[in-house]
Structure 1
Amino acid sequence: MTTELPLGREVAYPRAYDASLLFPIARDAGRDTLGIGAALPFDGHDRWQAYELSWLDARGKPAVATATFLVPAASPRLIESKSLKLYLNSFNGTRFADAADVRARIAADLSGAAGATVAVDFGLPPMAGVDDDAGSIDIDGVDVAIDAYDHPAPELLACDPAAEVEETLRSQLLKSNCPVTGQPDWASLRIAYRGPRIDRAALLRYLVSFREHAGFHEQCVEQVFVDLMAQCRPEWLSVEARYTRRGGLDINPWRATPGLPPPAARRDVRQ
């Protein structure tokens, strides 16, 4: 499947609008390796933030915008990021009646590729402020020795079943690699839960174990969710990753125990 991807090879710059540039990938491929069946153990979405969107108006004058796309985690397919970049670039030299026409085209095309309704809005979420992380705990300062980097290692996780807590932990040390090009993907992670206290040093070792792992953003977040649920069995769990921008796009997957409200949409300073 990856040999057909536009990743890692020279691709002609699109000169006209072309929805066929979108490359959907079945989510089942990654979920099967995690033991996730048809009944998903989580709710969630993938929030894409697009910084480089342009088209020509009816008289040929360029227009520019930013946009946010919300792809439901229950959709059967995710959308490969470079194909999304190429698709958005295909708008650059094409005339559209107005911004509403562009928004409708994008919503229809992304929904068709994902196999579910994708919400499209012009504009971006606000930047995160100091108050957004108030009460959360930054674990990156934990003094810990680490020597596992090659693949996710859930056996490193540890919890204290005698201590029941409700807290939010955050880290900026999540890194994985593109499964085709090997380019690094960087993210900040927020883990909110109620249940046995998660050992913070153990959690940091586990997150760093993704460092040389090849996996798509969405699959990495789903693995963190599944591993924490299996190892610590919290009453509820929410995992959100905010990945840094590449090619004018960033992606923010969120997975949570069904019924939990989504976190407030925010952009980190690294985005």
Structure 2
Amino acid sequence: MTPEQSPLGKPVHYTEQYDASLLFPIDRKRARDAIGVPARLPFFGTDVWNAYELSWLNQRGKPQIAVATFFVPADSPNIVESKSFKLYLGSFAQTRFDSIDDVRAAIKRDVSAICGATVSVQLTPPMDFGKLVMEEFEGLSLDRLDLDCDVYAPDASLLSAAKDEVPVEETLFSNLLKSNCPVTGQPDWGSVQIRYYGGQIDHAGLLRYIVSFREHTGFHEQCVERIFMDIMRECKPERLAVYARYTRRGGLDINPFRTNFNLPMPDNARLARQ
């Protein structure tokens, strides 16, 4: 299914009775084909979703709440369209469940079916909210650079690296990532961290490249995969990991992670802007 067929950007009826049919899948392959991702994926990783507006009723009718976290494997055939995800989670609001475990089981079953792969689901109840972590990206900030920017559509030619020099290992980040929803045109604000080993990437060119997404339309996952593919093609690092954390919209934030080497999965620590 395509974004144009989804409920995104259309008037909808909000239901508060559990309804798994509200979930809408988006095929990953279409966007991957457009940027030259081969059938054998050159990366692995996960999309980490956090949902802050999940509520349901216990069997006595008392509202319950939790923060939900979803780990969608990067090799799943589909992603979930975000507005359909919000509508789906909203459908729990006036539905009675026996326990938080039953809520978790229902979400895991439904979202896994839509994504076409097993999705891990964690629900954090209020008693554990204090354990949720906030931190900022580690590494060297590209935003320190004082430079001119005048390209606002993705341009891989802005990227370059010293491929003939001694390889370096760097962790770089920027808080200046912005892209736009491919259906509504609404802005998606984010931060991106890039870890690599290889010829040193030109920092100014990399920052200009990140800024070049500013008027680009694409889902969060697609933008991160495009960044990964462009850096691999233009800079040819031996190892590369790209991790973006986007600010929440509709009570959801989406945080894609892609790597071609063995790194621990992200710890899902929330950035201040999220």
TM-score (norm 1): 0.95
- CA distance in 1: counterparts of 2:7 and 2:230, whole angstroms: 31
8 Å Cα contact 2:241/2:261 also seen in 1: no
Pick aligned residue for 2:171 from 168, 173, 177: 168
Match runs of 1:189-204 below 5 Å:
189-204=192-207
Shift of 1:61: 1.1
State the secondary structure of the residue aligned to 2:229: helix
Shift of 1:185: 0.2
Match runs of 1:127-146 below 5 Å:
127-129=133-135, 133=138, 136-146=139-149
Instruction: Report the counterpart of residue 153 of structure 1 in structure 2.
Output: 155
Instruction: Report the counterpart of residue 226 of structure 2 in structure 1.
Output: 223
State the secondary structure of the residue aligned to 1:112: helix
State the one-letter code of the partner of 1:117.
T
- CA distance in 1: counterparts of 2:100 and 2:156, whole angstroms: 46
2:247 pairs with 1:248: no
State the secondary structure of the residue aligned to 2:41: coil
State the one-letter code of the partner of 1:82.
K
Shift of 1:258: 4.2
Match runs of 1:1-271 below 5 Å:
1-123=2-124, 126-129=132-135, 133=138, 136-149=139-152, 151-161=153-163, 162-271=165-274
Describe the superposition over 1:27-75 as per-residue Cα deviations: whole angstroms up to 9, x where unpaired.
0010001111220000110000010100011111111111100000000
Describe the superposition over 1:129-155 as per-residue Cα deviations: whole angstroms up to 9, x where unpaired.
36x62xx10010211111100x21001
Shift of 1:163: 4.0
State the secondary structure of the residue aligned to 1:263: coil
Describe the superposition over 1:162-190 as per-residue Cα deviations: whole angstroms up to 9, x where unpaired.
14110100000000000000000010100
Aligned-pair identity in percent equals 56
TM-score (norm 2): 0.94
State the secondary structure of the residue aligned to 2:199: strand
State the one-letter code of the partner of 2:214.
R
Gaps of 5+ in 1: none
Shift of 1:160: 1.3
Q: CA RMSD in A?
A: 1.3
State the one-letter code of the partner of 2:208.
R
What is the number of equivalent residue pairs in this alignment? Answer: 267
